[in-house]
Amino acid sequence: MGLWKTCVIQEEVGRQCKDFDSFLALPAELRISRILMFLSNGLGFLGLLVSGFGLDCLRIGDRQQDLKKRLLILGGVLLWTSGVTALVPVSWVAYLTVEEFWDETIPEIVPRWEFGEALFIGWSAGFSLLLGGCLLHCAVCSTPAPEASGHYAVAEMQTQCPYLENGTIDPKV
């Protein structure tokens, strides 16, 4: 039983999945978990957009480095929040799965829930979002903002080398 459908694996038939009939007919933990996963997806997308506008390689707002730094910090916070809102429902469903698996009041005939691939994918995605948000925040806060130059760094050519004068090495330098 997952957030979106319930599946049964039988030896003769294989895997059979059925979508849930109604959102309101779901247990409360699955309804809340669905809402939190939607929120996590939205916050993650918004965090990517906000932090994308704060990148140095984007030419928009070259002279507003302070605003870009704030956008990167906000993007990191949004990614971190997205990771938390992804880990909460995944861990909650995993806890309920373990509780029901070891519940001795449920008869042996009733099939037991087990961990599926989606739980492990959800945990890895949540931890990746947490790590990405923390790394973005730490990277922005640990380095000073570069001065806005209005253009990218361009190597300037020197017309004369100070070490060579008339093709010989100058001993004065």
DSSP per residue, 75-118: HHHHHHHHHHHHHHHHHHHHHHHHHHHT-TTS-TTSPPP---HH
Number of other CB atoms surrounding residue 5 within 10 Å: 10
Q: Token digits for 48?
A: 């990517």
Contacts of 166 (CB under 8 A, 6+ apart): none
Helix (H, G, I), strand (E, B) or coil at 56: coil
Cβ–Cβ < 8 Å for 87, 79:
no
Tell me: the pLDDT tens digits for 17-52? 877 777 777 778 888 888 999 999 999 999 999 998
Tell me the pTM.
Answer: 0.69
Strand partners, 72: none
Query: Domains in the chain, please, with CATH?
Result: 5-169 (1.20.140.150)
Express each pLDDT in 104-156 by its tens digit.
777 666 666 677 778 899 999 999 999 999 998 888 888 765 555 555 444 44
